[in-house]
Structure 1
Amino acid sequence: MNIEKIPEKMDWNKLDPPNAMNSFLHLEYSPDVTGVDIALAGVPFDLATSNRPGTKLGPAYLRSRVFKGAKVDEVLDISIGDNLKIVDSGDYKLMGGYLLDAFALIKDQTKKILDAGATPVIVGGDHSITFPELAAYYEVYGPMAMIHFDSHLDTGMYQMCPTKEIYTHGNPFSNAMRKGYLDGNHTIQIGIRTGTPKMNDEYTKEYGREILSAAELHAISYEEAAERIRAKVGDMPCIVTFDIDFLDPVYAPGTGTPVTGGFSVYDALMILETALPGLNIVGADLVEVEPYYDPCEITAISANNILAKLVTCIAYNKLMKKEDVKEDVKEAEKEKKEEK
C-alpha cells in the first residue's frame, strides 16, 4: 500500500489541532491585547431582554460553530490575520444578576481594549451591551457616529419616561444620545420595520438621526444604501452595531425578537463590504444570537459570516491606512533626498 508523501510546502503549524479550544473565527486566543490590532471579545449577558432570554449563551455558541471558510474574504482579497494581529481575547468578566454593575464592567473592559490600541469587536449578549460600550468609546473619541443594523430602533421607553433612566435591550441608543455618547447627526439606523412613525419622527427631529427603513432598503441598490450610510457617517469615529434580527427569521431564527420582512445574509454582506471600506470604524459588535431557537445552526452560520465580514472590513481599513503611511514615509524620504 502506497502512502502519499506529505507536501513539503504544507505549514502544519497553521492547522488547528483537533482538540483546539474554540475561539471566534478560529483566531488565536489571547487575553493579553498588547500589540493587537483587532480584539474580539464575548459579552455573555442578557439581563435586559424583553422577550426570549438566552442570548448570554451567544458567544460560546458562535465559538463552537465556526466554519473555516469564514477566515477568508475573497471580495476584499484579504485573509483575517494578514499582516495584522487579530485575536479572540475571551469573555468579559461580569457580575450575574447586577445590571448596572455589569454595565460598569463592560465599559471598563472595552476601555482596556481601546487603551491598548486595539479595535474591539464584541459579540453579545443582548443589545443593551452597546450602551456601556459607547460609554467607553466616548471617553476616547467623544460623541460617536453609529451605523446600526436592526429591525428595531432601540430607542424605546424615551417617549414614556423621558427623564427616568430605564435600561433594556430596547433603549440603548436613546440612553446613549441623552448621555451624549452618540452624535445623532452622524447616526443611521438601517432595516427598521417596527415602531410608531409619529413617535419616531419626533425623536428623529430632536436628535438628527437618519432612519433607512426596511421598505426603503428593499427598494434601493446596495450602492445607494452605502452612499446613504457614508454620507451620514462622514469621517467621524464610528461604531457598527449589528443586531442579528436585521436578517429575516428565515436566515436568523435564533434570536430574541424576530421580525418578518427582513434581509438575507447576502444583503447584509453586500451592504457591509460596499459601505464600510474607507470609513473610520473604531469598533463593532454583533448581538442577539439566541442558541435555543436555532434549528440546524442556521443563525450560527449567518452570524459567523457576518462577524467575519465585520472583522475583514475593519482589517481592510487598517491595512489601507498602513499602506498610506508607507507611501507618506516614502514620499518624505524622497523629498529629503531631493533637498540634499
Structure 2
Amino acid sequence: MERVTMADVANKANVSKSTVSQYINNRFEYMSLETKKRIECAIEELNYQPNIIARSLKQKKTYTIGVIVANILHTFSTQVIRAIEDECQRKNVNVIVCNADDQPSKERKYIETLRAKQVDGLIIFPTGGNLDLYKKLEKSGYPLVFVDRTVENTDITSVLLDNEKASSLAVDHLVGKGYRNIAFLTTSIEMNITPRIERMDGFKKALQKHNLPLLEQLFAGEEIHKMQEKMHFMFSQDKVPDAIICGNDLTLLEVLKFCRKKALTIPTDVALVSIDEVSFSEIYNPPITVVTQPSYEIGTYAAQQLLQKADEHEKTEETIIRFEPKLVVRSST
C-alpha cells in the first residue's frame, strides 16, 4: 500500500501543502473554518499519518520531552508528572517518563538515552549525583529544568516548595496546640536531597524560635528499612515525643505502621502532622493534619518553563522558584 502524503491531503482538500502543514502544526490563525474542516475530512478519509521523523528533521524538534523522576513512589512525583503531561498535551508535546530509583547511575543512563533520542528538553528531579553531567548540559544551553530539588554549583532553573516554611507551619501549629516534645522524621539525608535537608533545617529553626530544646534523639533522616528501629529508639527515651512531623509521604506510612504496632492512639498518645498530602489523609481515622504543596501548579510551571526554553533556543536567566505551602488542620493534632 502506498503511503499517503501531505500532497495527497492537499489535493483532496483543494489547498496548498503549506496550508496542510499549518493545520498539522495547529496554526489556525490564517485559516477559515471551512478550510480547516476540508483538511480534517481529507485526513480522515485518506487515513493520513504525518511523517513525524521528517517533521522533526525539518523543524529540528521532536515535540517530545523527557521527565526523570528520582523516586516515582512519592505521591508528589506522580502528581507533578500528571501536571507536566497535561500541560504538554495542550501544546501537542509528548512526554517520556523515567524512574531513577534515587540511583545516580540510573539517572545518568536515562539522561544519555533520552538525549540520544533527541528529546527537546528534560525535566529532572535530580538525585544530585551527576554534577558533571548537569553542568555539561547547562554549559551547552540544553533546555533543562529541575523540580523539587536544587543542585549546588549550578544555575539551572529549579521549581520547588518553600520547604523551611512547610516545617515552620507544622511546628507553629503543634506548639499552638500545646505540644512540646516534637519529633521530626524523614527519609535518608545522606545524598543531601534538598527537601529533606531544608525541612529538617526549618524544623530546627522553628523549635529555636519557640525556645524549645533541640534534642538529637527526636529528629532523624533514615533509610525506610531503619525507620521502625529509629522510632522504637525515640519512644524509649526519657522524653517521649508527644507529636511527630513526617517529612514526606513515605515516612508517614512508616509512622502509621509503628503507631498501630505499638497501639498508640492518635492524637491522644502522639499527635501527627505530615508534610505533603496523600490520598488517604482525609479518610484515615483520625484524618491527618498535613502541610500541602501545590503539586499541580509546580508541575505546570516546570513544563511551561521547559517548553519556553525549547522554543526560544537561547539561554535565559536562571532562577529558583519556590511555591507556598499550606497547612490543612484535621483531627490528628
Fold equivalence (TM over 0.5):
no
Instruction: Provide the TM-score with structure 1 as the length reference.
Output: 0.32
Larger Rg: 2
Instruction: Provide the TM-score with structure 2 as the length reference.
Output: 0.32
Q: Which has the higher contact order (CA 8 A, sep 6+)?
A: 1
